[in-house]
C-alpha cells in the first residue's frame, strides 16, 4: 500500500453522483460570508455527520484530487492510485484511492483516505472534502494585489474580494431568473434565497476565494455565470477594439447586466487584474453548451471604462414595465387633508419587487385609505419605473380594494393596530 512509482497524473474521471452527508470542516469553512444583503450565501456547513466511505464514489474523489492539484504518484494499475498534495511542505501525507468499488479493500482504503484528508492542513484537502460532501460546481476568484508585510492581503482587500464575489453570485442568480440589462429591486428576494445553500471559503493569503454551488440548487446560477462572464469578456474586447457598445447590448441575452458589470468592476478595482474560474461537479456531467473545462475569464484595469459605460447604458435604456399589481398599504402621505398623495405598498402579487411607492389622485388616495382601514389590499394598474430600481409605480389607475381570506385580513388589521402613527400620516402628517 506504500509502493511509490512515477505514474503520470490522470485526467478527471466523471462518474455517477452519489449523495454524501456533511462533515465537520474547521477553519474558513466553519462560517459564512459576513455582510451578505439578505440570506447569507455561505450557509453553515453541517458538521454533525462524517462522510460515509460506503457512499463515497472513488472516481469522484480522484477527480477532485486532480482538480485541486494533488499529484498521482503511482499505485497498482487498475486497482488503486497514490496521491500526494500540491506544493512544498506536504510532509508525509499521501492517499491511496481505489480505482473503483470492485475490490474487497475499497472501503478500508476510502476510510483511510478520508481520515487523512480531514487531518491534513492543506487547504486543498478541505476543498476536496466539500466537493465530496456536497456535489457542487466551483467558482473561484483570484485578485492580483500587492502582498502585505507577512505575505497576506490586508483585511480591507480581503473584504473587497468577498464583497465582489457576493455581487457576482447575486448577478448570476438574478440572470437565472430572467434576462434584463438592469434588475434593480426585481427578483432580488428570490435570487438571494437561491444562494442560501452556497458554501464559501477563502485560501491563505486572502487573494483567492472559492464558492461551492450545490448541483441540485445552484447549477442554473453556475451556467448563467459561465455564459455571462464569457459574453462580458467578448463585449469588452469588442469595445476596446472598435469603440462600439453594440456587443454589450447583445450580451444581455447571455446574462450580462448592470449588476454583473458592477460586480466585475468591484473585483478588478484596485488590482493589477482578476480572474474568475469555474469547474463543474465531477460526475454531474457538463451542462449543454458549456466547455468541459472552462478557461478562467480574466479582466484587467483597462477593461473598467467599458464595463462602467455598459452599466450606465443598461441603467439608461432598461424600459419601464406595465404591471397590474396587488399590494397592502403600509404607509400613506400627503401634504394636507385634501388633494393628491402617495402610498407605499407591500407587493403581494403582480411584480417581483418587495415594495413600491405609488402617486395617487385624491379619489384613489381615499380608496386606498379606506381599504387599509378595512384590512384589505388594493389592486392598481400602472408602470413600474426603472429609475429608482423599479420601486416606483407611475400612471396609476383603476385603484380598487381586493377581497382576501379572513386570515390575511386579520393579519393586515393587526399591522394597522401596531402602527398607530399611520393615522397621522394619512391625515396630513410628515413621512
pLDDT value for 372: 86
What is the structure's pLDDT at 81?
A: 83
What's residue 283's pLDDT? 76
Query: What is the reported pLDDT for 278?
Result: 94
At 66-103, the pLDDT tens digits run 888 888 877 666 677 888 888 765 556 788 788 777 77
DSSP 271-304: SS-EEEEEEPPTTS-PPTTS-SSPPPEEE-GGGH
CA atoms within 13 A on the CB side of 122: 23
Residue 233 has pLDDT above 90, yes or no: yes
Q: At what angle do helices 155-177 and 215-242 cross, to 10 degrees?
A: 100
DSSP-based three-state secondary structure for 381: strand
pLDDT over threshold 90, residue 280:
yes
Q: What percent of the chain has pLDDT over 70?
A: 77
Higher pLDDT, 303 or 6: 303
Weakest mean pLDDT among 54-58, 175-179, 340-344, 410-414: 410-414
- Beta carbons within 8 Å of 362's beta carbon, 6+ residues apart: 338, 339, 340, 341
pLDDT over 60 at 25, yes or no:
no
Residue 231 confidence (pLDDT) above 80: yes
Say yes or no to pLDDT of 9 above 70: no
Q: Which of 242-246, 310-314, 426-430 is predicted least confidently?
A: 426-430
- pLDDT at residue 374 in the model: 82
Q: Between 385 and 80, whose confidence is greater?
A: 385
Q: Contact 396/325 with Cβ under 8 angstroms?
A: no
pLDDT at 242: 94
* pLDDT over threshold 90, residue 360: yes
What pLDDT does 204 receive?
A: 66
- pLDDT of the residue at 50: 55
Residues shown for the chain = 431
Across the range 121-130, mean pLDDT stands at 80
Higher-pLDDT residue of 23 and 335 is 335
Question: What local confidence, expressed as pLDDT, does residue 429 receive?
Answer: 41
Give the pLDDT confidence of 173-220 residue by residue, as tens digits: 999 999 999 999 999 989 999 998 898 877 666 788 989 999 988 999
Whether the pLDDT of residue 144 is over 80: the answer is yes
pLDDT at 414: 63
Please report the sign of the dihedral spanned by the C-alpha atoms of residue 122, residue 126, residue 129, residue 135: negative
How much is the average pLDDT of 262-273?
A: 95
pLDDT digits (tens, 9 = 90+) for 298-325: 999 999 999 999 999 999 998 899 999 9
**3-state SS class at 374:** coil
Report the pLDDT value the prediction gives residue 39, as an integer from 0 to 100. Answer: 34
Mean pLDDT of all residues in 119-143: 84
Q: What is the pLDDT of residue 424?
A: 42
Give the pLDDT of residue 47: 30
Q: Mean pLDDT highest for which of 115-129, 221-235, 372-386?
A: 221-235
Q: Give the separation between CA 398 and CA 325, rounded to whole angstroms.
A: 11
Percentage of the residues of the chain whose pLDDT score is greater than 90 = 39
* Residue that wins the pLDDT comparison between 176 and 423: 176
Measured from the Cβ of residue 12, the count of other Cβ atoms closer than 10 Å reads: 19
pLDDT of residue 125: 83
Res. 292: pLDDT tops 50: yes
Specify the pLDDT at position 88: 64
Amino acid at each position: 500500500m506504500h509502493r511509490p512509482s512515477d505514474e503520470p497524473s490522470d485526467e478527471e474521471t466523471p462518474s455517477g453522483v452519489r449523495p454524501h452527508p456533511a462533515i465537520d470542516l474547521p477553519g474558513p469553512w466553519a462560517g459564512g460570508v459576513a455582510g451578505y444583503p439578505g440570506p447569507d450565501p455561505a450557509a453553515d456547513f453541517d458538521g454533525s455527520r462524517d462522510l460515509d466511505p460506503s457512499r463515497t464514489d472513488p472516481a469522484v474523489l480522484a477527480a477532485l484530487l486532480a482538480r485541486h492539484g494533488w499529484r498521482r504518484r503511482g499505485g497498482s494499475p487498475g486497482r488503486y492510485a497514490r496521491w500526494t498534495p500540491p506544493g512544498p511542505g506536504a510532509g508525509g501525507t499521501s492517499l491511496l484511492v481505489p480505482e473503483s468499488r470492485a475490490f474487497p479493500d475499497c472501503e478500508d482504503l476510502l476510510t483511510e483516505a478520508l481520515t487523512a484528508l480531514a487531518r491534513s492542513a492543506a487547504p486543498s484537502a478541505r476543498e476536496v472534502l466539500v466537493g465530496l460532501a456536497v456535489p457542487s460546481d466551483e467558482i473561484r476568484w483570484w485578485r492580483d494585489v500587492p502582498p502585505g508585510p507577512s505575505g497576506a492581503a490586508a483585511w480591507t482587500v480581503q473584504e473587497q474580494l468577498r464583497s465582489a464575489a457576493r455581487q457576482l453570485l447575486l448577478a448570476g442568480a438574478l440572470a437565472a431568473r430572467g434576462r434584463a440589462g438592469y434588475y434593480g429591486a426585481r427578483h432580488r428576494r428570490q435570487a438571494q434565497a437561491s444562494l442560501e445553500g452556497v458554501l464559501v471559503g477563502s485560501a491563505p493569503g486572502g487573494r483567492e476565494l472559492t464558492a461551492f454551488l450545490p448541483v441540485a440548487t445552484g447549477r442554473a446560477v453556475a451556467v448563467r455565470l459561465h455564459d455571462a462572464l464569457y459574453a462580458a469578456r467578448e463585449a469588452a474586447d469588442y469595445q476596446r477594439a472598435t469603440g462600439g457598445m453594440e456587443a454589450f447590448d447583445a450580451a444581455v441575452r447571455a446574462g450580462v447586466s448592470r449588476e454583473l458589470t458592477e460586480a466585475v468592476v468591484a473585483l478588478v478595482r484596485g488590482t493589477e487584474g482578476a480572474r474568475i474560474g469555474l469547474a463543474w461537479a465531477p460526475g454531474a456531467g457538463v451542462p449543454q453548451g458549456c466547455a468541459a473545462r472552462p478557461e478562467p475569464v480574466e479582466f484587467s484595469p483597462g477593461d473598467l471604462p467599458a464595463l462602467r459605460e455598459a452599466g450606465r447604458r443598461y441603467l439608461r435604456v432598461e424600459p419601464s414595465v406595465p404591471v397590474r399589481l396587488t399590494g397592502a398599504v403600509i404607509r400613506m402621505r400627503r401634504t394636507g387633508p385634501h388633494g393628491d398623495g402617495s402610498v407605499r405598498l407591500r407587493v403581494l402579487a403582480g411584480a417581483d419587487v418587495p415594495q413600491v411607492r405609488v402617486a395617487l389622485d385624491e379619489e384613489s388616495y381615499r380608496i386606498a385609505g379606506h381599504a387599509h382601514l378595512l384590512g384589505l389590499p388594493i389592486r392598481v394598474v400602472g408602470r413600474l419605473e426603472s429609475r429608482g430600481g423599479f420601486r416606483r409605480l407611475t400612471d396609476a389607475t383603476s385603484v380598487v380594494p381586493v377581497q382576501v381570506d379572513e386570515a390575511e385580513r386579520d393579519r393586515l388589521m393587526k399591522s394597522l393596530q401596531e402602527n398607530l402613527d399611520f393615522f397621522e400620516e394619512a391625515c396630513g402628517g410628515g413621512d
